[in-house]
Amino acid sequence: MGNIFTASEVVELGIQIEKNGRDFYNLVKEKSNSPKAREKFEYLAKQEEAHIQVFKRLLEQTQKYEPAESYPGEYLNYLNAVADEHVFTKEHKGEEVARGIKSDKEAIELAIGFEKDSIILFGVMKGVVSIDGHKIIDQLIKQEQSHLVQLVEIKKNI
pLDDT (tens digit per residue) in 42-96? 998 999 999 898 888 877 777 665 556 677 767 666 666 666 656 666 778 888 8
Residue 44's Cβ-count burial label (10 Å; 0-12, 13-18, 19+) is buried
Task: State the Cα angle at 134 between 9 and 8, rounded to 5°.
Answer: 15
**Long-range contacts of residues 33-37, Cβ cutoff 8 Å, at least 24 apart:** 33/104, 34/104, 34/158, 36/157, 36/158, 37/104, 37/107, 37/158
pLDDT reported for residue 10? 75
Answer yes or no: is pLDDT of 114 > 80. Answer: yes
Has this prediction a pTM greater than 0.85?
A: no
Nearest alpha carbon to residue 144 among 48, 40, 10: 48
Query: Among the listed ranges 47-56, 123-132, 135-144, which one has the minimum average pLDDT value?
Result: 123-132
pLDDT reported for residue 73? 67
Residues 7-157: name the CATH superfamily.
Ferritin, core subunit, four-helix bundle (1.20.1260.10)
Q: What is the rounded distance in angstroms from the CA atom of residue 45 to the CA atom of residue 27?
A: 9
* CB distance 22 to 15 below 8 Å: no
pLDDT band at 1 (very low <50, low <70, confident <90, very high): very low
> In this structure, how many other beta carbons lie within 10 angstroms of the beta carbon of residue 48?
22
Work out the mean pLDDT of the chain and round it to a whole number.
Answer: 81
pLDDT (tens digit per residue) in 15-37? 888 899 999 999 999 999 888 88
